[in-house]
């Protein structure tokens, strides 16, 4: 009975997560086949950040004699089998899609989650570069973290760079499932910045280590302008200290 209740709770949370993503991206359109023509790099449609990101990492890009990108046809349906080295941008994107589909199937099986739900969640991350999605899927498998339960996700910095991060739910799961976890302690500075501790540090104790792993995070370095930081700055600073400490001690 308890196992069924846990599964039902996880399923409900996954559904909520998918609905929230759909609401945020309800204005976005996703066609089964995309076709675009580019006369020069300056005219490249910036609404397709994934293509720009992938182009930088590929060995060859299909261009005409003037150096401009040629017409590219992209299919997001069933992918044909790939043979040989990539000859153009379209073929290289297909390779990425094949890798992503393979990792989705493996991750879903390992984490015992519905593959179609995971695929739907991945498909909705239209702004995230393919290589970051691949990294997330592989990290999911290594750490057994479920993005549909909000245990692992993406974040984008002001400079446009993307990074995978483990949420507080993910940190809690990693800690409490680790056989060597032996408790944690938080400490904070006596000095204040705008009424908030200048720093908060987290110490994680392991049974197989003599000394705890300790990480200190400074408010001035991690605070941003998001509403959550204005409403709960102390909690957010504590979360940052815990996340970074878990990276060193457990993950």
Please report the pLDDT score of residue 26 as a whole number.
Answer: 56
| R_g of the chain, CA atoms, integer Å | 22
Q: What is the mean pLDDT of each run of 10 residues along the chain (251 residues)?
A: 51 58 53 39 39 36 47 38 57 80 91 91 86 91 92 85 91 95 97 96 96 97 92 96 94 69
Please report the pLDDT score of residue 218 as a whole number.
Answer: 98
User: What pTM value is reported for the model?
Assistant: 0.62
Task: Report which DSSP code applies to 171.
Answer: H
Please report the pLDDT score of residue 71 as a whole number.
Answer: 38
Dihedral of CA atoms 130, 47, 82, 79 in degrees, nearest 10, equals: 100
Please report the pLDDT score of residue 31 as a whole number.
Answer: 44
């Amino acid at each position: 009975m308890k196992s069924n209740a846990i599964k039902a709770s996880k399923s409900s949370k996954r559904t909520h997560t998918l609905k929230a993503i759909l609401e945020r991206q309800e204005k976005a359109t996703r066609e089964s086949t995309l076709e675009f023509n580019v006369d020069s790099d300056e005219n490249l449609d910036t609404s397709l950040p994934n293509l720009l990101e992938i182009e930088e990492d590929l060995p060859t890009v299909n261009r005409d004699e003037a150096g401009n990108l040629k017409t590219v046809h992209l299919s997001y349906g069933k992918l044909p089998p790939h043979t040989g080295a990539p000859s153009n941008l379209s073929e290289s994107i297909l390779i990425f899609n094949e890798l992503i589909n393979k990792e989705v199937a493996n991750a879903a099986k390992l984490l015992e989650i519905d593959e179609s739900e995971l695929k739907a969640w991945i498909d909705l991350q239209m702004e995230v570069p393919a290589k970051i999605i691949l990294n997330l899927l592989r990290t999911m498998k290594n750490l057994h973290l479920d993005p549909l339960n909000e245990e692992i996700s993406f974040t984008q910095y002001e400079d446009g760079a993307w990074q995978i991060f483990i949420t507080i739910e993910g940190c809690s799961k990693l800690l409490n499932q680790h056989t060597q976890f032996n408790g944690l302690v938080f400490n904070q500075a006596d000095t204040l910045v705008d009424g908030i501790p200048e720093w908060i540090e987290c110490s994680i104790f392991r049974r197989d280590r003599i000394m705890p792993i300790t990480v200190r995070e400074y408010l001035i370095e991690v605070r941003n302008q998001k509403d959550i930081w204005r409403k709960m700055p102390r909690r957010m600073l504590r979360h940052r200290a815990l996340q970074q400490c878990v990276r060193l001690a457990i993950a």
